[in-house]
Chain A
Amino acid sequence: MRRVGYPAEIVDLISHLKRLPGIGPKSAERIAIWLLRAKGEFAFEFSGAIRSAKEQVAFCRFCGFFASGQDGCDFCNDPDRNTECICVVEQPTDMLPIERTGAFRGHYHSLGGKISPLDNIGPDELRIDSLVQRIKNGEVNEIILAVGSDVEGEATASFLADHLKRIDLGRPLAITRIAQGMPAGGGLESADELTLFRALDGRRSL
């Protein structure tokens, strides 16, 4: 006797869901069945949303953020932003946390990753040339490097700082790195020693 399983369409749906991040075989099965049973047009709306996001959204050719259509993203199209300062991040998703702070009103630039020779990612795989073009074409006078503080992030920051210093601009270009250290609002007693160590290292005069 043949063992009966789900029809091929459901098996196919489950196998697609399983490939999503954080979804295991059990969850994939549950979601697939839930989608089939969902009331009204939900499943069609859902698949439509995926399709239109995939078709319409591209990366902004200036800063690398998500943009719909060909006209650049909401950052680059915002006339109120400070065009003299660019904040460089690893991934487009890193822009939003900085944006939410409200402390930064300049432009962003996503590298699309970080230098990691062991993973075969070198400077040529990153959006460094387009950053240099933006600096040359615009009125930029400060670059903030907001890449991670792991080994690859540090190496990327160090490579970029060196690379950008070599551009012949004819005007000064300040290159800064975001600080590391104490979490805001925390007392000294709650910080671990490594964080304190870094905070002491990066202290500033008052």
Chain B
Amino acid sequence: MRVSALRLHQFRCFGSLSCELGEGVNLFTGDNAQGKTSLVESICVLLRLQSPRTSSSSDLAQFGADAFGIRAILDGERELSHSWQAGKRRLALDGSPCRKSGDYLEASGLVVWMGNEDIQLVRGAGDSRRRYLDFAASQLYPDYRPALLAYEKALRSRNFLLKRDASPNWRQIDAYSGVLIRHGEIVIRRRSELVSQLQPWAAEAHTHVGGSRETLAISYVSGSGSSFTQSLAESQPEELRRRVTVVGPHRDDLQLLIDGRSAGQYASEGQQRTVALSLKLAQARLLQERRQTMPIILVDDIFGELDPGRRNALLSYLPAAAQKMITTTHLNWLDSNGGALSSAARFHVHAGEVVRIS
């Protein structure tokens, strides 16, 4: 998949921008705080309707504005448009409004985002790993996102009921338990399927990028035991005490082991970065294999952090035919990687302006 003819309106630091993107590698260079990340972020927001940096659309509008707009052409034929004004999102495909975000996402492209904050996948709390699984699963399974949204809504209502009354009204709570289980089971089944499919790719990427003999093993850790229905029934005493739903996919995690030891606890910084990269690379490979189409790869500022060996390994492992948007502050590493990036379209980003330099 390819995006071209990117247009931004009042998005982050960009008042108005028009950028012709190249088919292969697009390199965005420039000092800090000039808009490189925002530019790449806009592609993620356009294609997947979510930003890796914020969950609030109002953050995406230019400072002082209450609206933003993003549009681009996908695969040279379909125009995607995502605009937001005063709290309302408007989506359009080829100029005609698209009411259901599910239909829009179905027609949109696949995305892999790689950024510095990925290290949280290894070091951070479970929610960063669940977000990673959610982002990937939504792009692979059409039933995943609706089930996840319904699950989250049912969970909010159920937790509210658990907290509301001095003595919980179990008949009302149980009305939500059924809904929670029905949607939760779809989420559980898909996440577990996803992790087992990611596992071989993650291990391979880890060997390739890390260049060592250590093996990475990833596994799905269910937050609801072997049967969600049973765990939920058994957790009632604890729910009564803590007044919150204590089992379910919202407690899932992804276990990351290097040679059998927890990567989050025992691995060095460099090893942790390699694990985080491997997870994202595995996502790219899996999307490519399962959806039979190349994801668009957005790489924000991570090349500067890597030693030349890993940088080369990463560049060579990224699917060659995929369109890539790469941001970086310093250029000195670029020329040592001249081979892989010699044909890249280069852009200079300065104060919300983007100029093509080669």
Contacts and interface: CB of A to CB of B under 8 A. Distances in A.
Interface of A: 115-118, 122-123, 150-152, 154-156, 158-159, 162-163, 192-194, 197
A123 B157 CA distance: 14
A162 B174 contact: yes
Contacts of B176: 155, 158
A152 B103 CA distance: 22
Given A117-B161, A194-B146, A162 B175 contact: yes
B211 interface: no
Contacts of B103: 192
A154 B142 contact: no
B67 interface: no
Nearest to B173: A117
Interface in B138-196: 142-143, 146, 150, 153-154, 156-157, 160-161, 164, 171-172, 174-176, 178-179, 182-183
A155 B158 CA distance: 10
B182 A154 contact: yes
B340 to A, nearest CB: 37
A118 B142 contact: no
A116 B160 CA distance: 10
Q: Interface extent on B, as a size class?
A: 20 to 34
Going nearest first, the 5 A-B pairs with the smallest beta carbon separation are A159-B175, A193-B142, A158-B178, A155-B175, A158-B175
**Chain B CB within 10 A, most for which of A123, A154, A163, A192:** A154
A36 B106 CA distance: 49
Contacts of A155: 154, 157, 175-176, 178-179
Nearest to B152: A151
Given A154-B182, A194-B146, A159 B157 contact: no
Contacts of B172: 115, 117, 122-123, 159
Nearest to B178: A158
Contacts of B156: 118
B143 A193 contact: yes
Contact of A192 (B142, B153, B183): B142
B164 A197 contact: no
A150 to B, nearest CB: 8
A155 B179 CA distance: 6
B175 A156 contact: yes
A71 to B, nearest CB: 35
Contacts of A156: 175
Contacts of A193: 142-143
A55 to B, nearest CB: 37
Nearest to B158: A117
Contacts of B182: 154
Contacts of A151: 150, 153-154, 157, 179, 183
Contacts of B153: 151
Contacts of B102: 192, 194
B151 to A, nearest CB: 9
Given A152-B157, A192-B142, A194-B102, 4 more contacts: A116-B157, A117-B160, A155-B176, A194-B143
A197 B171 contact: no
A118 B175 contact: no
A151 B153 CA distance: 7
16 contacts: A115-B172, A115-B175, A116-B157, A117-B161, A118-B156, A118-B160, A122-B172, A150-B150, A151-B150, A151-B157, A152-B157, A154-B179, A158-B179, A159-B171, A162-B171, A194-B146
A156 B171 CA distance: 11
Contacts of A123: 172
Nearest to A153: B179
Nearest to B153: A151
B154 to A, nearest CB: 5
A198 to B, nearest CB: 9
A195 to B, nearest CB: 10
B106 A192 contact: yes
Nearest to B162: A117
Contacts of B157: 116-118, 151-152, 155
A137 B182 CA distance: 35
A197 B146 CA distance: 12
A117 B176 CA distance: 10
A157 to B, nearest CB: 8
Contacts of B179: 151, 154-155, 158
A118 B163 CA distance: 12
Contacts of A163: 171
A197 B144 CA distance: 11
A163 B174 CA distance: 11
B245 to A, nearest CB: 13
